[in-house]
């Protein structure tokens, strides 16, 4: 038996055009879900839609900018028109791999605003857009992707760390507000995870130093995260809400 109550669910994954979000999309497709790739980058979003359809999955790319309320509203409208329901939202989209590290006193206001608009406000806007559908269904699961940097106090991208800390806080308050409607909200905090996408947020020395401190001393990969996200979307986690699950090979223990 697989995870309970996941097959045939309609799952929206924001930012699923590459990296870890793309891995979530593949896993939900394997579980027999209909997968919506709510991504800002059109070519990459379409490419993931193609990949999933080629393996026989129901997949739909919907061009979405989570930082825009109207874009989130239209995305939900399209999902409802196509699938008639919406069961799971994975708030994965973020400005992450394009960040350059710098001390907080060198971050410009423009950069601060751009990052918090996607990583923080975008989580609220996407959740707000799916809420009426989940409320009507009296059923839904929202999974917010935060980051283990919240607990590490990792320096040199304060806007990113602050946005992810807010996502953890928001998860808790949101879970209380939507619990009465049968909707659960949880967060996952990945450690440094190595995908097909290069980024400047970790040097080779920092990578090795972090791995050395993990209980399981190997690099984290997207496959390490897909199971917990699928579990939180399934009925096997029906009594878990407002929680933050850390997945980092035991680097930090909070
Ligand atoms: N990779 C890691 O080490 C790591 C660690 C902890 C947390 N995370 C978090 O996991 C998630 C995925 O990480 P990743 O490594 O795949 O990141 P990534 O930067 O490779 O991918 C992010 C995706 O989000 C999309 N996106 C950006 N802005 C958007 C917007 N406004 N609307 C819609 N889509 C948008 C991008 O186009 C991209 O496809 C992010 O929330 C990230 O912060 C990653």
Kindly give the distance from the C-alpha atom of residue 93 to the centroid of ligand 1, in angstroms, as a whole number.
5
Ligand 1 pocket check for 14: Cβ under 6 Å: yes
> What's the confidence (pLDDT) of residue 254?
83
Domains of the chain by residue range: 10-246
φ and ψ of 246, to 5 deg: -95, 130
24 vs 2: which has the higher pLDDT: 24
| Integer Cα distance of 33 and 229 in angstroms | 13
Q: Determine what percent of the chain falls in helix, strand and coil, rounding each to the nearest 5.
A: 50, 15, 35
47-81 pLDDT, tens digit per residue, is 999 999 999 999 999 999 999 999 999 999 999 99
What is the position in ligand 1's atom list of the atom closest to the CA of 160? 43
> What's the confidence (pLDDT) of residue 223?
98
> What's the confidence (pLDDT) of residue 186?
99
Kindly give the distance from the C-alpha atom of residue 137 to the centroid of ligand 1, in angstroms, as a whole number.
29
> What's the confidence (pLDDT) of residue 1?
74
If you write DSSP's letter for every residue of 86-114 in order, what string do you get?
A: --EEEE---S-TT-----GGG--HHHHHH
What is the position in ligand 1's atom list of the atom closest to the CA of 96? 19
**Sign of the dihedral through C-alpha 210, 101, 22, 242:** positive
Ligand 1 pocket check for 91: Cβ under 6 Å: no
Choosing among 3.90.1150.220, 1.10.760.10, 3.30.70.1400, 3.40.50.720, the CATH entry for 10-246 is: 3.40.50.720
The answer to whether 21 touches 229, Cβ cutoff 8 Å, is no
Ligand 1 pocket check for 229: Cβ under 6 Å: no
Residue whose Cα lies nearest atom 18 of ligand 1: it is 97
Tell me whether residue 160 is one of the annotated catalytic residues.
yes
Q: What residue has token string 């790739």?
A: 37
The answer to whether 193 touches 221, Cβ cutoff 8 Å, is yes
Per DSSP (E only), the strands in the chain are 10-14, 34-39, 59-63, 88-91, 140-145, 183-190, 244-247
Kindly give the distance from the C-alpha atom of residue 22 to the centroid of ligand 1, in angstroms, as a whole number.
10
**Average pLDDT score over residue span 132-136:** 98
End-to-end CA distance of the chain, in Å? 32
Question: What mean pLDDT is reported for the chain?
Answer: 97
Kindly give the distance from the C-alpha atom of residue 94 to the centroid of ligand 1, in angstroms, as a whole number.
4
**Confidence class for position 2, pLDDT limits 50, 70, 90:** confident
Residue whose Cα lies nearest atom 12 of ligand 1: it is 20
179-205 pLDDT, tens digit per residue, is 999 999 999 999 999 999 998 899 999
Among residues 6, 73, 53, the alpha carbon closest in space to that of 33 is found at: 6
Tally of residues, the chain: 254
φ and ψ of 154, to 5 deg: -70, 130
Query: In Å, how far are 58, 60, 64, 188, 214 from 29, measured between CA atoms?
Result: 7, 11, 20, 20, 31
Q: How far is CA 146 from the centre of its chain?
A: 7
Ligand 1 pocket check for 94: Cβ under 6 Å: yes
What is the position in ligand 1's atom list of the atom closest to the CA of 93? 24
**Confidence class for position 252, pLDDT limits 50, 70, 90:** very high
| Integer Cα distance of 67 and 114 in angstroms | 9
Query: Which of 14, 20, 24, 147 for mutating ligand 1's site (highest number of atoms within 8 Å of CB)?
Result: 20
**Confidence class for position 237, pLDDT limits 50, 70, 90:** very high
Ligand 1 pocket check for 197: Cβ under 6 Å: yes
Nearest-5° angle of CA 78, CA 39, CA 181? 55
| Integer Cα distance of 5 and 48 in angstroms | 24
> What's the confidence (pLDDT) of residue 183?
98
What is this structure's pTM?
0.98
What SS3 state is found at 71? helix
**Average pLDDT score over residue span 116-132:** 98
DSSP state of 156: S
Choosing from 24, 157, 160, 194, the catalytic residue is 160
Instruction: Please tell me the least confidently modeled range out of 110-124, 157-171, 200-214.
Output: 200-214
Q: What residue has token string 């989570």?
A: 66
């Amino acid at each position: 038996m697989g995870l309970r109550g996941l097959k045939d669910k309609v799952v929206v994954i924001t930012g699923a055009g590459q990296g870890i979000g793309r891995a979530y999309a593949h896993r939900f497709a394997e579980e027999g879900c209909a997968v919506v790739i709510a991504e800002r980058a059109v070519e990459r979003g379409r490419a993931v839609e193609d990949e999933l359809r080629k393996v026989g999955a129901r997949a739909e790319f919907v061009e979405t900018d989570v930082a825009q309320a109207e874009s989130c509203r239209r995305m939900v409208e399209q999902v409802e028109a196509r699938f008639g329901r919406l069961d799971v939202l994975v708030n994965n989209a973020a400005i992450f791999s394009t960040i350059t590290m710098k001390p907080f006193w060198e971050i410009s206001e423009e950069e601060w605003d751009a990052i918090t608009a996607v990583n923080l406000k975008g989580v609220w806007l996407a959740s707000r857009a799916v809420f009426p559908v989940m409320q009507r269904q009296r059923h839904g699961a929202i999974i917010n992707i935060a980051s283990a940097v919240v607990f590490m106090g990792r320096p040199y991208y304060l806007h990113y760390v602050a946005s992810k800390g807010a996502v953890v806080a928001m998860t808790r308050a949101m879970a209380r507000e939507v619990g009465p409607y049968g909707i659960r909200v949880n967060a996952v905090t990945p450690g440094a995870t190595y995908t097909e996408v290069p980024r400047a947020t970790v040097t080779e020395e920092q990578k090795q130093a972090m791995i050395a401190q993990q209980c399981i001393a190997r690099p984290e990969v997207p496959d390490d995260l897909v199971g917990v996200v699928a579990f939180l979307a399934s009925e096997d986690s029906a009594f878990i809400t407002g929680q933050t699950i850390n997945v980092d090979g035991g680097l930090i223990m909070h």
